[in-house]
């Protein structure tokens, strides 16, 4: 599949659409993955993630490495449609043969990514991309799924988003391997940097990696080389430091995710086939049962049937 852009594009679609061949394809590709370095870019809406991704990819290309980008934007919970606009900031990359960009809608997955994002990254990895950048939706405080996909997570913030109380909250502020204060030419950039540093210093747990806090003005490319240097340092750290334990934890997460999806899918399919799905939904609507009891019953039933098989 190396280099075949049409094949990459169609493979990602098959996975995204959860077509019958999707699992077979993922299984085939899996042994060929694990070579690329996957960088996650996350942070609130409007802090400049897409602009940063473009500049970062451009910088990586100077090192003659190829880049795959998966940029995620939200699906409308009302229409199911999506407006995917990350490419607007990435126009200069669109004709670079060494860059592949894919826009992806969340299709109502929570956590800042789509269900298919990880597998799309796997496809790009198997296709030989050296570096893969995954850009999340504009993330709130609890969109932290990116840590399950990326090896290096960059949390992007901007001046004036909140004070030290915001910085101390759980979620996003805990997942950064690198923190970036973008739009650093604006007022209060130093304040933002010091708020984040203070928060990080309160972390008493002994860790081999101390997340750096970088000031960047992505629009003019200022500080991008510093960011890439730190990403590279983190990659080296992962290779030499914690890696075995971390890699086991990651594999565990992947397995748990796959298991959850399989169990849920198979139960829902069975209930739908039997025509019980709507019935149970209506019982919940009428408050005759609660979702937890209903789920318990479904699981019990499923275990019984699979026991017989």
Partner 1 sequence: MSTKEKKIRVLIAKPGLDSHDRGAKVVARALRDAGMEVIYTGLRQTPEQIAETALQEDVDVIGLSILSGAHTTLFPKIMQLLKKKGLDDVLVFAGGIIPQEDIPTLKKIGIREVFGPGTPTTMLVDFVKKTVPKPA
Binding site residues, partner 1, CB under 8 A: 5-6, 8-10, 12-13, 16-19, 75-76, 79-85, 87-88, 91, 94-95, 100-103, 105, 107, 264-266, 268-269, 272
| Least Å from the CB of residue 273 to partner 1 | 11
Nearer Cβ to partner 1, position 6 or 308?
A: 6
Nearer Cβ to partner 1, position 227 or 271?
A: 271
| Least Å from the CB of residue 176 to partner 1 | 29
CA 119 to chain centre: 11
Contact 82, 75 (CB under 8 A): yes
**Phi and psi for 300 in degrees, rounded to 5?**
-60, -45
| Least Å from the CB of residue 100 to partner 1 | 6
DSSP state, 42? Answer: E
- Alpha carbons 216 and 43: distance in angstroms, whole number: 14
DSSP string, 240-308: HTTHHHHHHHHHHHHHHHHHHHHHHHHHHHHHHHHTHHHHHHHHHHTTSS-HHHHHHHHHHHHHHHHHH
Nearer Cβ to partner 1, position 210 or 269?
A: 269
Nearer Cβ to partner 1, position 103 or 289?
A: 103
| Least Å from the CB of residue 202 to partner 1 | 41
| Least Å from the CB of residue 90 to partner 1 | 9
- Alpha carbons 59 and 236: distance in angstroms, whole number: 18
- List all residues 6 or more positions away from 142 whose beta carbon is below 8 Å from its beta carbon: 111, 171, 172
Nearer Cβ to partner 1, position 5 or 169?
A: 5
């Amino acid at each position: 599949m190396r280099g075949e852009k049409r094949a990459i594009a169609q493979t990602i679609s098959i996975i995204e659409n959860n077509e019958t061949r999707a699992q077979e394809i993922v299984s085939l590709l899996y042994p060929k993955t694990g070579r690329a370095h996957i960088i996650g870019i996350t942070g609130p809406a409007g802090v400049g993630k897409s602009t940063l991704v473009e500049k970062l990819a451009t910088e990586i290309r100077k090192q003659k490495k190829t880049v795959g980008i998966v940029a995620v934007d939200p699906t409308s919970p009302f229409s199911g449609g999506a407006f995917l606009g990350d490419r607007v900031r990435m126009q200069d990359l669109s004709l670079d043969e060494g860059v592949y960009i894919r826009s992806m809608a969340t299709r109502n997955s929570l956590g800042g990514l789509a269900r298919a994002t990880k597998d799309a990254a796997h496809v790009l990895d198997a296709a030989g991309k050296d570096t893969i950048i995954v850009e999340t939706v504009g993330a709130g405080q609890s969109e932290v799924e990116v840590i399950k996909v990326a090896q290096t997570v960059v949390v992007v913030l901007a001046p004036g988003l909140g004070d030290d109380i915001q910085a101390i909250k759980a979620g996003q502020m805990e997942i950064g391997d690198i923190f970036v204060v973008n739009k650093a030419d604006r007022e209060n950039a130093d304040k933002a940097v010091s708020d984040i540093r203070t928060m990080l210093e309160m972390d008493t747990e002994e860790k081999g990696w101390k997340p750096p806090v970088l000031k960047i003005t992505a629009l003019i490319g200022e500080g991008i080389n510093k960011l890439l240097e730190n990403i590279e340092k983190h990659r080296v750290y992962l290779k030499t430091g914690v890696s075995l334990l971390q890699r086991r934890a990651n594999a565990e997460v992947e397995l748990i995710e796959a298991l959850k999806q399989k169990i849920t899918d198979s139960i829902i399919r069975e209930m739908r086939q039997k025509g019980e799905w709507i019935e149970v939904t209506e019982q919940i609507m009428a408050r005759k049962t609660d979702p937890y009891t209903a789920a318990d019953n479904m699981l019990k039933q499923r275990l019984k049937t699979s026991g017989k098989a």
